Amino acid sequence: MLSPRLYRLFWAVVLLFVSTIGGAFAYRWIEGWGWLDCVYMSVITAGTVGFQEVHPLSTEGRIFTIFFVIFNLAIFTYFASVITSYLIEGELRDIFNQYLTKRKVEKFTNHVIICGFGRNGFRAAEELLKNDVPFIIVETKRELIETNIQNLGKKQTHLFSFIEGDATQDHILHQAGIKRARALLTTLPKDADNVFVTLTARQLNPELLIIARANEASTGNKLLHAGANRLVRPDVIGGTYMANLVLRPEVVDFLDIMNGTGKLKLEEFSFVDFKPEYQNIKIEIFKKPHIQAHIIAFKDNLKGFLINPNADTILGQDDTIIVLGTQMQLFAFAEEFTHKFRG
């Protein structure tokens, strides 16, 4: 499928080609010349080069040539303007950049797709970038892409790329590597678009983690039925946060610290993240003197979350532990017990 930037060039070439072939058929029908003479006459007439006719024209041929020249002047002017815009206004450069972006996107795997690059999409991109998680942005507005990518900074540009297109279109999601992705975040401003993206993404990749934005409460069930794993309602989150600043401000400050704005952070480690020798054993083994990160929660695949789990709790298949610590403490924990954060 052609990109929008190539449509004008495509149709300009098609019009010129159709006009030339049509002129050749007309000369063949009116004058009865051979095909080579007809094509040659059509080309020199369409190109308005002023060469002499290959044969004397009949009265009908002259009348046709008058209208054919006028018609082709318009087509040739349009063709010339399109070629000029591609050469002078940087269209060819943009197309080449799009080709390079497409090649870069094709190399992404186990990445996150962000549909919509407004305020929510930008914040999600910032957080993913902080954690070295690769992602691809899908957005229709080019100026929004350029502005927000500039705000992300020039560091770690290998971790992200973008696609200028409509995320509700199947071919755009295919282009974003939907079948190779680990998750999709749809943050589009219209709930209907988020529902459509969720439904399409779920059909294209049944195993994909889909997190969808819902502006209206009534949209929540639709998104869940469409295949979303989790819902986010910015107005609810914002309102709840503001109320908690009044009701329990210290708790909010503590949560903010763990949310990446302070020294402490939370990290999760699933069963498959751990080295084989640390699987199917009691979690007390993780409490070593030189490991200062703390296990504050344990998600059992049957019982759900356990806060401050007992040391005898066994880490089994599909279980996850939540660890609290500084960046260095979490890194030390990961280096000691897991495959995470390696190479």
How many Å apart are CA 150 and CA 279, to the nearest integer? 43
Domain holding 325: CATH number? 3.30.70.1450
What percent of the chain shows pLDDT beyond 90? 20
Same domain, residue pair 131 and 216 = yes
Residue 2 scores a pLDDT above 70: no
CA distance 135 to 125: 7
- Taking alpha carbons only, the member of 137, 167, 172, 169 closest to residue 152 is 137
CB-count burial class (<10 Å; 0-12, 13-18, 19+) for 300: middle
Query: Is a pLDDT exceeding 90 seen at residue 186?
Result: yes
* Domain end residue (candidates: 89, 121, 148): 89
What does the H/E/C string look like for the chain?
Answer: CCCHHHHHHHHHHHHHHHHHHHHHHHHHHHHCCCHHHHHHHHHHHHCCCCCCCCCCCCHHHHHHHHHHHHHHHHHHHHHHHHHHHHHHCCHHHHHHHHHHHHHHHCCCCCCEEEECCCHHHHHHHHHHHHCCCCEEEEECCHHHHHHHHHHHCCCCHHHEEEEECCCCCHHHHHHCCCCCCCEEEECCCCHHHHHHHHHHHHHHCCCCEEEEECCCCCHHHHHHHHCCCEEECHHHHHHHHHHHHHHCHHHHHHHHHHECCCCEEEEEEEHHHECHHHCCCEHHHHCCCCCCCEEEEEEECCCEEEECCCCCCECCCCCEEEEEEEHHHHHHHHHHHECCCCC
170: β partners = none
Q: Residue 50: is its pLDDT beyond 80? A: no
Q: What is the CATH number of the domain that holds 172?
A: 3.40.50.720
Tell the burial category of 55 from Cβ atoms under 10 Å away from its Cβ (0-12, 13-18, 19+): middle
- Pick the closest to residue 179 from 206, 159, 158 (CA basis): 206
- The pLDDT of residue 217 is above 50: yes
More confident: 328 or 10: 328
Residue 70 C-beta-side C-alpha neighbours within 13 Å: 5
Average pLDDT over residues 115-123: 91
CATH number of residue 47's parent domain: 1.10.287.70
C-beta atoms surrounding 50 within 10 Å? 7
* 85 and 112 housed in the same domain: no
pLDDT of residue 343: 42
Q: Would 270 be classed as within a structural domain?
A: yes
Last residue of one domain, picked from the residues 238, 253, 273: 238
Give strand pairing partners of 325: 265
pTM for the whole structure: 0.62
Q: Within this chain, do residues 329 and 229 fall inside the same structural domain, yes or no?
A: no
Q: Please give the span between the terminal C-alpha atoms of the chain, in angstroms, as a whole number.
A: 37
**Least confident interval from 58-72, 75-89, 130-144, 224-238:** 75-89
Does the pLDDT of residue 282 top 80, yes or no?
A: yes
Q: Is the pLDDT of residue 242 over 60?
A: yes
Q: Which domain holds residue 197?
A: 108-238
Q: How far apart are CA 340 and CA 270, in angstroms?
A: 10
Residue 13 lies inside a defined structural domain of this protein: yes
User: Within this chain, do residues 232 and 181 fall inside the same structural domain, yes or no?
Assistant: yes
For residues 280 and 315, the answer to whether their CB atoms sit within 8 Å is yes
Proportion of the chain above pLDDT 70, given as a percent: 88
- Judge whether 109 and 180 are in contact, CB under 8 Å: yes
- List, for residues 283-302, the tens digit of each pLDDT value: 898 888 888 888 888 998 88
Domain presence at residue 253 = no
Number of domains making up the chain: 3
Nearest 5 degrees, angle CA 122-CA 126-CA 128?
A: 115
What is the C-alpha separation between 31 and 60, in angstroms, rounded?
Answer: 8
Assigned domain for 233 exists: yes
Pair 84, 115 in one domain: no
- Whether residue 158 is predicted with pLDDT greater than 90 in this model: the reply is no
Backbone angles phi, psi at 323, to 5 degrees: -120, 140
- Read off the pLDDT of residues 138-149 as tens digits, 9 standing for 90 and up: 998 888 888 888
In a domain, 53, yes or no: yes
The average confidence (pLDDT) of the chain is 83
For the ranges 22-31, 95-104, 242-251, the lowest mean pLDDT is seen at 95-104
Is the predicted pLDDT of residue 90 greater than 60, yes or no? no
Q: Measured between alpha carbons, how far is 192 from 194 in angstroms, rounded to an integer?
A: 5
**Are 124 and 234 members of one domain?**
yes
Examine residue 62 and state whether it is found in any structural domain, yes or no: yes
Tell me, yes or no, whether 232 and 270 share the same domain.
no
Task: Give the confidence band of 86 by pLDDT, cuts at 50, 70, 90.
Answer: low
Is residue 68 located within the same domain as residue 9? yes
Q: Give me the mean pLDDT over the 153-163 stretch.
A: 77
120 and 10 inside one domain: no
Flag whether pLDDT at 1 surpasses 70.
no
Residue at a domain's end among 197, 222, 238: 238
pLDDT of residue 162 exceeding 80, the answer is yes
Within-domain flag for 30:
yes
Judge if 273 and 159 occupy the same domain. no
- With respect to residue 117, please indicate whether it lies within any of the assigned structural domains: yes
Looking at residue 5, its pLDDT comes to 57
Residues 76 and 125 placed together within one structural domain of the fold: no
Examine the domain organization and report whether 60 and 136 are in the same domain: no
Cα-based distances in Å from 45 to 13, 71, 201, 250, 322: 17, 10, 52, 82, 77
Report residue 287 as tokens. Answer: 């409490």
